[in-house]
Structure formats: C-alpha cells, structure tokens
Chains A and B, each alone.
Chain A
Amino acid sequence: MYQIFSTAKRPQEYGLLNVLIHLCVSLFMHLKTYIKHLNIELIIWPLALVLLYFMHPHQGISLCPLKWMGLRWCPGCGLGHAIHYVLHGQWALAWGSHPMGFFAVPVLLYRTLNLGKQQLQIFHYLKNNPA
C-alpha cells in the first residue's frame, strides 16, 4: 500500500520540479532576449536628465568624462548646469551656463520618447514572434 502511494507520488513531484525548472529557464531566456533588444540610449538619456535634475551645480562630483581626464575646458562645459537650471526653470542662469541647454532638453526628451515608442513596437513584435 505504502509502496504504491510513494511510487504514485514521486513522478508527480518530479514533474512539478521539472515544470518549475522549465519555467525558470524559459523566463530567463525571455528576459535575455528582451534585454538584448533594449536600447541603452533609452536608459542613458533619462538617467542623465534625472541625475542632472537632482544634482546641485558647483558641488559634488561632475558627470563629465573629459573633466575626469583633467581637461580644463571644452565646448560643452556648463551644459550639465544649464540642463539643471532649465529643468528648474531658472532661465537666466541656464543661458549664462550654456545657451545650448535650452536646445538640449527638448532634443533629449524627444529622442527618449521616440526610442520608447520604437522599443514598445519591438517588444510587441517579440511577444508575438518569440524567437
């Protein structure tokens, strides 16, 4: 009686484990294809805008790789400050830091929205045609 019970139960348990493993693997593969198709620009631009919004100009670290390398000045110097001031609505300070700040914010936002739209289309396509 016990033997029948145990043999009856074991394959079921095994099956459940198998299903779980299969689920995990397929989920991982799905995530991998999604991550592979994710455009890093879609992460970088919003991240930069959010960081610049919360960073305080003239204190803390700089985001500029050229400054890290020890360069004193480049044509883009002050752009980060300008974006910060534009996002906070301080127009005069923004213009004084870098006039391109007024141009940079809408361009980056437009690019982000455009990329987001494309990304949704790609994910929709992946959902319908799992590779």
Chain B
Amino acid sequence: MNDLSFAILPGVQHEELLWLQELTRGYTAEQKHQFLSVYQGRRKDPQTILICCLIGLIGPAGIHRFLLNSIGMGVLYIFTIGLCWIGTIVDAINYNKLTWEYNKKAALESAALLGLQ
C-alpha cells in the first residue's frame, strides 16, 4: 500500500489526501490505480479555479462557477460581475474549499463508475 499515491495530484490538500486514503482503504492495488486514473480526469485543479476566479476582477466573472458545475451561480456572477466583486473576492479566498466540494463529488462518482465503493 503506497500511502503517497494520491500526492501526485496537483495542488492536493492534506484533508483531501486523508479523505481519499480513507475512501480507497479496502481497494486492491489495481483498483486503486484504476480509481486514480478516473479521478485524475474528473478532478479540478484548485489553481485553475483560483485563476479563473481572479479573471473575474478584470473581465468576465463566474468562469470558475461554470467549471465547478454550479450554473445558477455562474449565470448570476456573469451578469453582475461577480455580485459586484463581493462574490469574486469571497471565492478567491475560499477557492480551496470550493474546489474540494466539487472534487469530493467527482471522487464518489469515479468510484461508482468503477463499481467500487
């Protein structure tokens, strides 16, 4: 069991690492490898989200919300330049949690896709 197999994910946080280790505890090495390759494709890099969020300060806002699949917030942001910057600033502070919220769902989806869980 390689405990650091998830450390290759870009911008991975301690909490995410622990959570993924917990999720894949009962997996064999092969299942773990499969899970990692599927999850890697579905996961969003927190840095991408931060950059897209900061574009909202000078250009179109809410790109990160569309990337994170919250379309309602995305539409609201794009028509009001990120709720007059307030939303953009909040998301720039909160980008790690925002991305992790999406990635958690992506991890569960990947596991379900492989018929693991």
Contact = CB atoms under 8 A, between A and B. Distances in A.
Contacts of B80: 74-76, 79, 98, 100, 104
A79 B59 CA distance: 19
Interface in A75-131: 75-77, 79-80, 98, 100, 103-104, 107-108, 110-111, 118
Interface of B (DSSP majority class): helix
Interface stretch (A2-10, A23-31, A63-71): A63-71
Interface of A (DSSP majority class): helix
B76 A65 contact: no
B86 interface: yes
Contact of A65 (B85, B97, B101): B85
B34 interface: no
Contacts of B81: 66, 74-76
Nearest to B88: A65
A40 B93 contact: yes
12 contacts: A41-B90, A63-B84, A64-B84, A64-B85, A65-B86, A66-B85, A75-B79, A75-B80, A75-B81, A76-B84, A104-B80, A107-B72
